[in-house]
Structure 1
Amino acid sequence: MRRSIATVSLSGTLPEKLEAIAAARFDGVEIFEPDLTGFPGRPRDIRDMAADLGLTIELFQPFRNAEGVDRAGFDRVLRRLDRKLDLMEELGAPLMLVCSNVEPYAINDDGLAAEQLWAMAERAGARGLRLGYEALAWGTHVSTFDHAWRIVERADHPHLGLILDSFHTLALPHDWSGIADLPGERIFFVQLADAPRLDMATLMLSRHHRCLPGQGERDVGAFTDAVLRAGYTGPLSLEIFNDSLRSAPTRQTAKDAMRSLLHVEERARRLEEARRADAASHRPAPRRVELFDPPAPARLDGVAFVEFAVNHATQAALAADLLRLGFHRLGRHRSKDVDLYGMGDIRFVLNAEAHSTAHSYYLLHGASVCAIAYEVDDPLRAVGRAEAFGCHRFEGRVGPNELSLPGIRTVGGELVYFTRRRADGSIDFETDFRLETGDALPTPTAHRIDHIAQVLPEGALDSAVLFHRTVLDMEPEPVVTLADPFGLVRSRAISDHRRRVRFPLNIASGRNTGAARSVSTYLGAGVHHIALETADLFAAAERLRANGVEILAIPANYYDDLAARFDLDDDLLATMARLNILYDRQGDGEFFQLYTQPFQGRFFFELVERRGGYDQYGAANAPIRMAASSQPGTFDTLVG
């Protein structure tokens, strides 16, 4: 499958965009007219530059308000068209996108539109060029793909075809199942974009909030599958209008864009394979193009361990805090200055090794989480998939007879490892530790990691969502906007389908929020807090109090409000207030949570208890938690 992207999708000058597109290994490019008009050279210079980079120019766009006009207006259209055809010849672009008319004066006459598009295609064909007609979702009279196709079919010119755009198709409440029945050879080009579900005009959504497929909430994979079933064999091209991407680093956007396009191809492949497996009720057409086929996702069974970068002083201080929480020192690394702590299925690694990746991380960020390891069914397959999606493999220093743990670096540079559980119940990485033996451990305060909340730099949320979705096969949840005392926080959780691994991802709007200050502290993305699941939060809270663990204090007014909103027993409310436990309810499910004070102002722990199938993160409590933690001597918390 040929892969392309529109220059409007990236920031920078046109040469910078082309270089980034080529570096991300795209095959072709759409030249957006404003990028060309702002270029100081000639169109032939762009043609030569693209060729030197190994890129083909697939499309020039857009040509607007060309059909459904009166005779005088169409004479002006033809004069304008001739100049653009001259430009296309010099640029080396074989195809031009013609948008459906959006002006209020447009004439509602399909016959007239077909006649005028035929005349335009005749002029283009005389030069060996083609035109593609696209229905804009806000077109005055033509706003759907099937209406555009009826006009193209009526015009019946070999140099006029249809251009399909997933945004314009999926943004409307319109049946698009007929795409699969279109003649593939008459589909000249396909553009892809995703978008969130926001309550705003389609034009505003299109111009400012499109996103890469996999970052939004539209089924771009199913759209692509329908296009391929129609027999389309041309390029798949990304066209993203997005305010954040207009200021994002050009090369990172291009890398994310390629990862996004590969995600779409994999999704289309899965749908095709599902049809072939159900051949008794479907008759799939033979595939005409080769689609991206990465290793299948590894099964996520949980978080195997969280690694903290520390020095000797913070190692001792954090170890003391962990012991008060109910953790136990399980062992010492065979060759490194690294300790292992555990409780139930939870494993924390405290890495104070000098001249290591963790040490470098500590110098930049202070005591903080530097790596996360996933328990998977096949670590090597997990790494292979990550590499197929453009991630870089990481291999740390390994001592004699020690395990080489497969790992990668994420988009933000953090480390991710993959390990597996053995038949005896142990996890691979534990073989590198001299495990301590002794008395049987008491009943743990908590038994597993429920979720890990991360804070991201502004503009990094969509990129992080795309990484987790493509590499780890996780699915995002809707965006939640939370009120911090000093601004707003956008949070979007992402998890695997079994809910074994969950990450609420948070980003701040405004420099004074706790999230923004946390990013400044971390100098980048970082784990903000780790939620530990317990079977009895009330018993756990009593144990923490007895051990001297400092808990985030919740105002008494919160519990008065709980009494008004929920039918809770007075004694239960009094106990919750005494223990600073927060509460949420979803249907028959209940959620109890409490927070520790932060470790050296950097990260903290949450203990949670889920009852009755509760499946969220207590977002309703977030404003209270953030207000409580913004008091002097505390630290701002985020959703999750």
Structure 2
Amino acid sequence: MTTDNTSLKLEKVMQDAEDFLPILGTDFVELYVGNAKQAAYYYQHAWGFQPVAYSGLETGRKDSVSYVLQQGKIRIVLTSPLQPDGDINAHINKHGDGVKMVALWVDDAKKSYEETTKRGAKSYVAPYEMEDEHGKAVISGIHTYGETIHLFVERKDYEGPFLPGYKAYATKAEAKDTGLNYIDHMVGNVGWNEMNKWVDFYAKVMGFAQMVSFDDKDISTDYTALMSKVMSNGNGRIKFPINEPAEGKKKSQIEEYIDFYHGAGVQHIALATDNIIETVTQLRDRGVEFLYVPDTYYDTLLERVGEIDEDLEPLKELGVLVDRDDEGYLLQIFTKPVLDRPTMFFEIIQRKGAQSFGKGNFKALFEAIEREQDLRGTLQ
């Protein structure tokens, strides 16, 4: 896969961001999973991701195996251990399947490492070069919340299917894509009173700026609440909302996540589409489960958000939520957890001008999550 080096063309949309790296986009998201082969089948046939690269015993790798899948600009890596000990096993034993690496595409991985570590980031791996017949890539990395890592990936001199050490990979069983284009944002859940610590980290260490803030008056129901702040890099391609629990009558989704994940981590990944009705219809038909929204949500929807291009009935039938801000409106829907532990899930989002995150839907969303928590016996 080739990628153009386009950093000089990127417009700065967050004027408060120092943006000293800069970041060109999300390179990939790597999940540590118990069985990468079966997880790859799920993401291919349920979600429409296409297999593009592989690394394992056949490529000389003895301790682990990875499958790389892609749809649009979204690239996921699924990694499983081949031995009974080591860091990957420890991560899975503690957290279950979950996101380990959030890799960021940069012009200069060495500079990205130096700029962040001198501002206080804890080193994960110092810059190093990887090389094969397709060229050279440079990788470095830092620690963030929980055990989540940010890798910096410099690939302007690499033209292989993924990275050195991987070979091109495909399967005979084809699965049509579902219209997913890119990662809109990724949400991190952190512990009590840790949100501002990590907001400061992204501001001071990575040069991000705060887009928006939500407190427990914005994000609450009769039972649960949370706090959230959204951090963005300068060009707006990387957006990281950071959530922490807030006091409520019962255990919030953030507390449930932390209890089962055993620490801070990536709660959900928002995937953008140009046609949410078509995308969600395909996903649902392939077995992806979404949160239930009562029909009453749609009774006053148009009064609240105004006219929209879409017909209301298919949105209602699928359970798609709608919200509007000063710049337009958005459509969004959330899956149930895609793992046995009630931890990671996905959001599907279509933006029709809106740059916000669906504040008007928070109450309906949280009530839907609470219904699932009640079924699990964790809404206490």
TM-score range, shorter chain: 0.7 to 0.9
What is aligned with 1:348?
A: 76
Give the Å deviation of 1:387.
Answer: 1.5
What is aligned with 2:156?
A: 422
Q: Which deviations, in whole Å up to 9, do the C-alpha atoms of 1:410-441 show, x marking residues without a partner?
A: 254421100024367768x5333211258998
1:606 aligns to 2:347 (yes or no): yes
Aligned 1:164-183 pairs, distance under 5 A: none
Instruction: Letter of the 1:602 partner, please give it.
Output: T
Give the Å deviation of 1:561.
Answer: 2.6
Aligned 1:123-134 pairs, distance under 5 A: none
1:621 aligns to 2:361 (yes or no): yes
Matched residue of 1:518: which SS?
Answer: helix
Report the TM-score, using the length of structure 1 for normalisation: 0.49
1:382 aligns to 2:132 (yes or no): no
What is aligned with 1:533?
A: 272
Instruction: Letter of the 1:349 partner, please give it.
Output: V
What is aligned with 1:391?
A: 121
Structure 1 residue corresponding to 2:220, chosen from 474, 480, 483: 483
Aligned 1:137-148 pairs, distance under 5 A: none
Richer in helix (by share): 1
Alpha carbons of 1:422 and 1:485: their partners in 2 closer, same or farther (altered >3 Å)? farther
Aligned 1:482-561 pairs, distance under 5 A: 482-510=219-247, 512-561=251-300
Richer in strand (by share): 2
Structure 2 residue corresponding to 1:406, chosen from 131, 140, 161: 140
Instruction: Check conservation: 2:44, 2:51, Cα contact below 8 A.
Output: no
Matched residue of 2:24: which SS?
Answer: strand
Structure 1 residue corresponding to 2:53, chosen from 325, 331, 335: 331
What is aligned with 1:25?
A: none
1:433 aligns to 2:166 (yes or no): yes
- Which whole-Å CA distance do the structure 2 matches of 1:325 and 1:535 have between them? 15
After superposition, the CA RMSD in angstroms is: 3.0
Instruction: Check conservation: 2:321, 2:361, Cα contact below 8 A.
Output: yes
Matched residue of 1:576: which SS?
Answer: helix
Give the Å deviation of 1:391.
Answer: 2.2
Instruction: Check conservation: 2:145, 2:265, Cα contact below 8 A.
Output: no
Matched residue of 2:139: which SS?
Answer: coil
What is aligned with 2:184?
A: 450
- Which whole-Å CA distance do the structure 2 matches of 1:560 and 1:483 have between them? 21
Alpha carbons of 1:548 and 1:388: their partners in 2 closer, same or farther (altered >3 Å)? same
- Which whole-Å CA distance do the structure 2 matches of 1:421 and 1:582 have between them? 38
Matched residue of 1:621: which SS?
Answer: helix
Give the Å deviation of 1:324.
Answer: 0.7
Report the TM-score, using the length of structure 2 for normalisation: 0.80
- Which whole-Å CA distance do the structure 1 matches of 2:177 and 2:97 have between them? 29
Alpha carbons of 1:602 and 1:388: their partners in 2 closer, same or farther (altered >3 Å)? same
- Which whole-Å CA distance do the structure 2 matches of 1:391 and 1:341 have between them? 30
Structure 1 residue corresponding to 2:95, chosen from 357, 362, 365: 365
What is aligned with 2:302?
A: 563
Q: Which deviations, in whole Å up to 9, do the C-alpha atoms of 1:190-229 show, x marking residues without a partner?
A: xxxxxxxxxxxxxxxxxxxxxxxxxxxxx9xxxxxxxxxx
Instruction: Letter of the 1:343 partner, please give it.
Output: Q
Give the Å deviation of 1:444.
Answer: 5.1
Is the deviation greater in 319-328 or in 555-564? Answer: 319-328
Give the Å deviation of 1:319.
Answer: 4.1
Alpha carbons of 1:544 and 1:635: their partners in 2 closer, same or farther (altered >3 Å)? farther
Give the Å deviation of 1:565.
Answer: 1.8
Instruction: Letter of the 1:479 partner, please give it.
Output: S
Instruction: Letter of the 2:21 partner, please give it.
Output: A
Alpha carbons of 1:571 and 1:349: their partners in 2 closer, same or farther (altered >3 Å)? closer
Matched residue of 2:230: which SS?
Answer: strand
Instruction: Letter of the 1:607 partner, please give it.
Output: I
Alpha carbons of 1:611 and 1:569: their partners in 2 closer, same or farther (altered >3 Å)? closer
Q: Which deviations, in whole Å up to 9, do the C-alpha atoms of 1:337-382 show, x marking residues without a partner?
A: 1111111111111111244433221121111111211011111101
Q: Percent same amino acid at aligned positions?
A: 24
- Which whole-Å CA distance do the structure 1 matches of 2:179 and 2:309 have between them? 26
Instruction: Check conservation: 1:339, 1:350, Cα contact below 8 A.
Output: yes
